[in-house]
Amino acid sequence: MKKIYLLVIILLIINISLFLYYKEGTMPVNKNDKTIKTFVINRGESLSSIAKKLSNEGLIRNKIVFYIATKKMGLDKKIQAGDFSLSPSMNIYQIIETLTHGTLDVWITFIEGMRKEEYAQIISKNFNIPE
């Protein structure tokens, strides 16, 4: 009977430790640091490589927790390539959401044979600058 109690206590301690490890890993690196950093994800880059780069840039606390949270949210296949504005004051969930929705890149398609005036209209429309 004592062995069962001991086993239950050990399992409880392990579960609490894992929960606290995960919770601590999802918190922002520095809540007060509002500086914006540009983070670049290259096309075809793996999730583990992205986690390592985020950790090296000081944007996340723990790359293992980032990897687990991304898989848990089901967004590991939805992370986009491009440039992103991230801050150390963002928690892991905000970073993951930003990496799936908000690239800074703007794509413009120029059709062959257009006049320069038409190019100016397209650029003006996409960047809100005068022709």
> Which candidate, 19, 95, 24, 23, places its Cα nearest to that of 59?
95
127 versus 47: which is more confidently predicted?
47
pLDDT of the residue at 70: 94
> Which candidate, 21, 24, 22, 31, places its Cα nearest to that of 88?
31
| Arithmetic mean of pLDDT over the chain | 87
Whole-prediction pTM = 0.71
Lowest-confidence segment of 8-17, 55-64, 73-82, 122-131 by average pLDDT: 122-131
Three-state SS letters, 60-75: CCCHHHHHHHHHHHCC
Note the pLDDT tens digit of each residue in 47-56. Answer: 999 999 999 9
Q: Is 81's pLDDT higher than 80?
A: yes
